Structure 1
Amino acid sequence: DMPRFPGCEDEATKDAKKACADKKMLEYIYKNIKYPAIARENGVEGMVVVQFVVEKDGTVTDAKVVRDIGAQCGQEALRVVNLMNDQGIRWTPGKQRGRPVRVQFNLPVRFKLE
């Protein structure tokens, strides 16, 4: 099983848990992200990808930007991913044969001017 963002373990099926977790993760990202002023002023939009490891205990480690669009967007996406640990957010860890394992995760973060 892949790791899941918390708050959805009551859902009945694996697919429902994943859909709910993906939605909650996006809500978290977009609630906390601040569009960098330099990106806004220069009309920078696009997709940043942050790669991180979800540890067996659900914490996030080794976060790094693997795709950046510049204008501080990558740094901002990274800040929000690292904020999860500070806010006490613990993922449901990935599992292999029923046991928790470390799993690398790629998170795309879209920057779009309203």
Structure 2
Amino acid sequence: MEIKKNPKSNLENYSKLFIQLGLVLALFVVYVSMENKTYDKQVGSLGDVTMEDLLEEDIPITERVEPEIPKATPPPAPEEIEVVEDEKEVEETVIETTETDETEAIEVEDIVEAEIEEDIPEDVPFNIIEEVPVFPGCSGSKQELTDCLNEKIRSHVLKKFNNELAADLGLPPGKKKIYVVFRIDPKGNITEINARAPHPRLKQEAIRVAKTLPKMTPGKQRGKPVGMRYTLPISFNVE
């Protein structure tokens, strides 16, 4: 048998009413507490209050004593002052004038011009030398002498250089270069020969060939023989 619930006994139907009643009650309690007045309690007399007398301290009055500064005593005056007459005669020096008279003759020594020696370097670069060295058999203008010098040196080296030496050194195939540097001294001799090559034997061969160059007419700067350095590149192919 199932028990049926009476819908009138369900309290959830009155939840809104309970909430409103509680809110009204809370507001009433707050209002009563705010309107209630309170008063401070009155306190009786505190009795006789006694204050102890403060001790008065006597502070002595001090005075600043200035130190006595001793007075400086003046030096004693001499008893007698002697007056010494200046009997020494002073000789006046006469300053002679340095001005010349128009009637006096003035002697002027001969002016000698000093020769200034121009400092010319011992070695002059190839591109600024005034007169290039002259290879035997070359002649003409400066440009012609320069072209002839380059051509004669190049042909001489190619003629004397051992081309078959590179094939026996086991060098990798390709284009190789040797740079030969030497100096044509103020007497026209070939000196200070050096070379840079891909193999030591090629370097020795380049130096040997440079030593076979003939003596030349030295280059000149300001009319004086000077030294000049020359660089010769040698190119060859290794197959």
TM range (shorter): 0.7 to 0.9
Instruction: State the alpha-carbon separation in 2 of the partners of residues 55 and 71 from structure 1.
Output: 26
User: Matched residues in 1 for 2:200 and 2:236: separation?
Assistant: 11
Q: 1:36 to 1:70 in 2, by over 3 A?
A: farther
Q: CA RMSD in A?
A: 2.1
Deviation string 1:71-112 (CA, Å, 9 cap, x unpaired) is: 62211111000122xxxx112212111111112221212233
Please state if 1:76 is matched with 2:205: yes
Mapped to 1, the partners of 2:236 and 2:135 lie a distance apart of: 21
Aligned to 1:64: 194
Counterparts of 1:44 and 1:57, CA distance in 2: 40
- In the other structure, the counterpart of 1:101 is 226
Matched to 2:219, the amino acid is: G
> Residue 14 of structure 1 corresponds to which residue in structure 2?
142
- Who is 1:91 aligned against? 216
**Residues 5/44 of structure 1: CA separation in 2 closer, same or farther (3 Å cut):** farther
Structure with greater strand percent: 1
Instruction: Tell me which of the two structures has the higher relative contact order, counting C-alpha pairs closer than 8 angstroms and 6 or more residues apart.
Output: 1
Alignment-derived partner of residue 160 in structure 2: 32
- How far residue 64 of structure 1 moved from its aligned partner, in angstroms, is 1.1
Kindly report structure 1 stretches of 4+ aligned residues shifted beyond 6 Å. Answer: none
Maintained 8 Å contact 1:36/1:73: no
TM score, norm. by length of structure 1: 0.78
After TM superposition, the score normalised by the length of structure 2 is: 0.40
Please, which runs of 5 or more residues in structure 2 have no aligned partner? 1-128
CA contact (8 A) 1:36 1:72 kept: no
CA shift for structure 1 position 44: 6.4
How much does 1:53 deviate? 1.2
Unaligned runs of 5+ in 1: none
Contact kept, 8 Å, 1:52 with 1:61, in 2: the verdict is yes
Query: Judging changes above 3 Å, is the alpha-carbon distance between structure 1 residues 32 and 71 closer, same or farther for their aligned structure 2 residues?
Result: same
> Using the alignment, how far apart are the partners of 2:206 and 2:218 within structure 1?
21
SS of the equivalent of 1:64 reads: strand
1:112 and 2:208 matched: no
User: 1:35–1:73: 8 Å Cα contact kept in structure 2?
Assistant: no
Against the structure 1 CA distance between its residues 102 and 29, is the aligned structure 2 distance closer, same or farther, given a 3 Å change threshold?
Answer: same
> Matched residue pairs, number?
106
